[in-house]
Amino acid sequence: MENAMHEKKYSDEIVNPNIDSYFGDDYIHFGDVINPPEISDRQAAAIWDFLSLRQGDRVLELGCGYGRIANRLAEKGAQVTGLDISPILLKKAEEDAIKRGVNVEYVKADMRSIPWRDRFDAAFLWYTTFGYFDDADNERVLCETASSLRKGGRLLIDHPNRLDFLGHKSPVCLVAQRNNDVRIDIFTNDVLSDRSNLERIVVRDGCVRRAYLSFRQYGVSEYLRMLRGAGFETIEAYGQEGEAFIPASSRLVVVAHK
């Protein structure tokens, strides 16, 4: 079994070959510009409500990044574990947890191989953290997450609404600025593969850097199929603020119960 695990070749070697360059120091540098503290506070409160969390609940965040949500949930009384593949982001998350005086367990691992079983009351993938891989490995993430949850556990996935996102004329260009530093995101849509491809150009301290990311867009019916296949019994779909999901919703929020 050990040899088989070492021989496993994950598909991000093809889909996202340089994912570490995307989730690095530049990602942190522009973090508070893209998601100011008041927005992060509001998102953490929404996650608490979506997952019906209570103080003491054990919660897993997959792709936790630099801890902007995980640490806030810990402040609300949850027992939080954050998993991410980036050591740079995890270090920042741990530093922020210390500043806030909260205890969060941060673990460097791949979300396709979660190292816990029947441990958590809830788990979530927030802010387009699902869909980085090919279909087989994306479904593997859901199966691994289901295995990490106790019976009755809840899973939350937040993602752009494909119906709305793919309706925009491609490419879409978004610009963020922090002092004299600029980040330019160029989104293109591949309607044949249902993937969105992002080229990120960062101009910082006189240097220009490029990073790339691709993520799969799924519709509600696909989430229903995948989540039921992973072992979830009930699945609900909402808009970003908990309202009814409609084709024009900017985000799709899926809540599944094991």
Of the pLDDT bands very low, low, confident and very high (cuts 50, 70, 90), residue 168 is: confident
Say what the pLDDT of residue 79 is.
98
Residue type, 45: A
pTM, 2 dp: 0.93
Structure tokens at 30: 């522009």
Contacts 24+ apart (CB under 8 A), 11-18: 11/133, 11/134, 11/136, 11/137, 12/132, 12/133, 12/137, 14/134, 15/132, 15/133, 15/134, 15/214, 16/132, 16/133, 16/212, 16/213, 16/214, 18/211, 18/212
**97-125: average pLDDT:** 98
The pLDDT tens digits of the residues spanning 57-109 come to: 999 999 999 999 999 999 999 999 999 999 999 999 999 999 999 999 999 99
Say what the pLDDT of residue 5 is.
35
Domain spans in the chain, listed from the N-terminal domain onward: 2-160+218-257
The structural architecture, per CATH, of the domain 2-160+218-257 is 3-Layer(aba) Sandwich (3.40)
Rounded CA separation 242/234 (Å): 17
